[in-house]
Amino acid sequence: MTADYSEVRASYVTMIAPRPMSALPPAATPAVPDPSPLDAILERYWGYTSFRPLQREAMDAVLARRDSLVVMPTGAGKSLCFQAPALLGDGLALVVSPLISLMKDQVDTLTGNGVAAACYHSALTSEQKAEVLDGLRAGRLKLLYVSPERLVGDGAEGFLRRVAAGAAPLAFVAVDEAHCISQWGHDFRPEYRQLARLRDVFPGVSLHAFTATATARVRRDITEQLALHEPLELVGSFDRPNLTYRVLPRASLRPQLVDVLRRHDREAGIIYCTSRKDVDQLTAWLQGEGRRAVAYHAGLSDDERHRSQDAFLDEHADVVVATVAFGMGIDRSDVRFVVHAGAPQSLEHYQQESGRAGRDGLEAECVLIVSGADFLKWRTLLEKNGEWNDQRRQLLRDIERYSSGVGCRHKHLLAHFGERYAKAECGACDFCLGELESVDDPVTLARKILSCVARVGQRFGAAHVTNVLRGATSEAVTSRGHETLSTFGLLKDASVDAVRGYIDQLLGRGLLQQTGDQYPVLALTEDGVALLKDAGAVSGLSLARQRRPDPSRGPRRSKAETEGWEGVDRDLFERLRALRLDVARARGVPPYVIFHDTTLRELARTRPSSLEALRHVYGVGAKKADDLGPAVLDVIAGRA
């Protein structure tokens, strides 16, 4: 496909002519050209009339040929930061992307918007590869997506020569998912380390790194490994105000999942498990309950994994149950919930995986269902694999503190990434929505639990300690004479879930620890012993329990939930959704490639009655208005 960009690029041609990197001032922000061409590109091809935070600055760096490092949370529009500038000027943008599925989704979306884009990867047929190379030679392409292996692996030299010999000069290189280059990141990939050679192959071409999650240490590593030259560093807020975070102590997992699924009937969601066995069992159970669920993990064949992924992306399935093997590059924008049925390895992993919810900016829910045993399981696995070190220990402690913390979840996540949360409350987490209630005297409660652990000899797990504290006369308790202990029945009025939650919080605070492998045993830490001896030994201790639901008032809703549907004709939204699905099926692309839910809701809110009005609806754009406008207008008018 050949696209005509001439009418909006003319004013840039001389301004963005290639110039040596050394010509740029070392620390100054590059000069910004007349903004109108970028605005026109944005509206014409994407249907957007405004920029999200930092998008303009990131695009200006690309156009000024200045290296950059851009960190934006999932759903903040980082891909647009290199896609839109690629349409200005005569050059080719080379985009490095780690997964074929991610390349394909982005190229499908771009071509659907009228942009000349292609991807080159191992899954293409010989004919398809030849077609891409022909487009490269003829200068028809504006963006070419490739994997890092294509640039640094076998045959890389020949491929790079073809890029250099193309009719259009190489304008810039964009490295997506750039955290993969860092051993401090959550998804390290060795082949990313070799991408710095692009600086030698294309010395006059700027490099731009993009990622959705990177601590300061990872950002430094990206800059060094890619040999970025005095890059402009743009770090967006990590806050996702449309996401509602909840943490639940694991009790009966399936009823807990039912509660989440009930809130998201017929909506898309991901359930992450820590083992393949759990994935298979939960998938079978969900299917038996009549849910459209599929499984995804590394133990399945390539064909099985591709079928599951395609079923989810194409809306043949609502729920995918997966290990962390599933996720990167999943572009489905209307994921309304992500559940972790077990703790992930780090807060970086959790931020990235939970961030796959609500990528369209609409309301979504992130639920972490966790047990103290999860952290012992990770430690045991990492020790077995020889990966247990200070770095891993700290990462695991960070997610343990988050899961056991009592306070605003948004604030906790932002603090981890070095960002201050200015609001008093987020209104979008279990704590700020009043779903948790703080214990009045947490020190006394903690000492009761610590005392019980000590009195059973620090030889039993959380379940047994819970039974003793609640006064349960089970055979395991009475056979050991533990019903005679002074701590027996001290928490007889508390629920099992509440007591287990308190224990998990004490583990998170480092007052208890778990030892053992197959059968985890609770033991006091040095701080726990100190608190048991002296009530003033630990400051700032807080404990909380789940508040019992009040049927008379119902659950509080987050601001995103309230505002997301305001003024939307829900019946019309569903009819537009059906149209989107029909078009997607006919074209063999995922439905979100046609329109995001944000666009469908805006259509159902504003009810445009002409093609001209349709062109100005968020996310439509000129090509889609011309292409799909009549059908959309017929649905809005009730003619279809």
Q: What percentage of residues in the chain have a pLDDT greater than 70?
A: 91
* Confidence tier at 36 by pLDDT (50, 70, 90): low
Which pLDDT value is given to residue 399?
Answer: 93
- Greater pLDDT, 520 or 4: 520
pLDDT band at 551 (very low <50, low <70, confident <90, very high): low
CA nearest 346: which of 210, 218, 514? 218
How far is residue 201's CA from residue 267's CA, in Å, rounded to a whole number? 47
pLDDT tens, position by position, 205-250 = 999 999 987 778 889 999 999 999 999 999 988 899 999 999 998 8
Maximum distance among all Cα pairs of the chain, rounded to whole angstroms: 87
Most confident of 189-193, 416-420, 427-431: 427-431
SS3 157: helix
Where does 565-637 sit in CATH, by number? 1.10.150.80
State both tokens at 356: 């796959």
Closest CA to 592 of 262, 237, 332, 294: 332
Confidence at residue 252, expressed as pLDDT on a 0 to 100 scale: 86
Architecture of the domain made up of 243-435: 3-Layer(aba) Sandwich (3.40)
Tell me the pLDDT tens digit for each residue of 278-315. Answer: 999 999 999 999 999 999 998 999 899 889 988 998 99
Contacts of 429 (CB under 8 A, 6+ apart): 244, 245, 246, 408, 409, 410
- Tokens 């939204």 correspond to 573
Same fold, 6-235 and 243-435: yes
Contacts of 348 by beta carbon, 8 Å cutoff, 6+ apart: 185, 186, 213, 215, 395
Question: Does residue 536 have a pLDDT over 80?
Answer: yes
In the chain, the percentage of residues whose pLDDT exceeds 90 is 58
Q: How confident is the model at residue 17 (pLDDT cuts 50, 70, 90)?
A: very low
Residue 195 or 76, more confident:
195
Residue 30 contacts residue 64 (beta carbons within 8 Å): yes
Q: How far apart are CA 197 and CA 606, in angstroms?
A: 51
Residue 431: per-residue pLDDT: 92
> Which pLDDT score, from 0 to 100, does residue 123 have?
86
* pLDDT over 80 at 101, yes or no: no
Look at residue 348 in the predicted model and tell me its pLDDT. Answer: 86
The listed range with the strongest mean pLDDT (87-91, 149-153, 376-380, 449-453) is 449-453
Q: Does 586 have pLDDT greater than 80? A: yes
The contacts of residue 288 (CB under 8 Å, 6+ apart) are none
354-378 pLDDT tens trace: 989 998 999 999 999 998 888 888 8
**Quick check: 2 and 138 in contact, CB under 8 A?**
no
User: Is a pLDDT exceeding 90 seen at residue 571?
Assistant: yes
- Which one is the CATH code of 442-546: 3.30.70.2740, 1.10.260.30, 3.40.50.720, 1.10.10.10? 1.10.10.10
CA 236 to chain centre: 15
Q: Is 485 exposed, middle or buried (0-12, 13-18, 19+ CB in 10 A)?
A: middle
Topology of the domain covering 6-235: Rossmann fold (3.40.50)
Given this model, what pLDDT does residue 24 score? 33
What span, in angstroms and rounded, lies between the C-alpha atoms of 436 and 439? Answer: 10
Pairwise CA distance, residues 101 & 107, whole Å: 10
Distances (CA, A) of 474 to 251, 466, 477, 479: 18, 11, 5, 8
In sequence order, what are the beta bridge partners of 355?
A: none
Average confidence score pLDDT of the chain: 88
Per-domain boundaries in the chain: 6-235, 243-435, 442-546, 565-637
Band (pLDDT 50/70/90 cuts) for residue 22 is: very low
Whether 23 has a pLDDT exceeding 50, the answer reads: no
Residue 443 has pLDDT above 60, yes or no: yes
- Classified as helix, coil or strand, 551 is coil
Q: Is the pLDDT of residue 168 over 50?
A: yes
Contact 505, 543 (CB under 8 A): yes
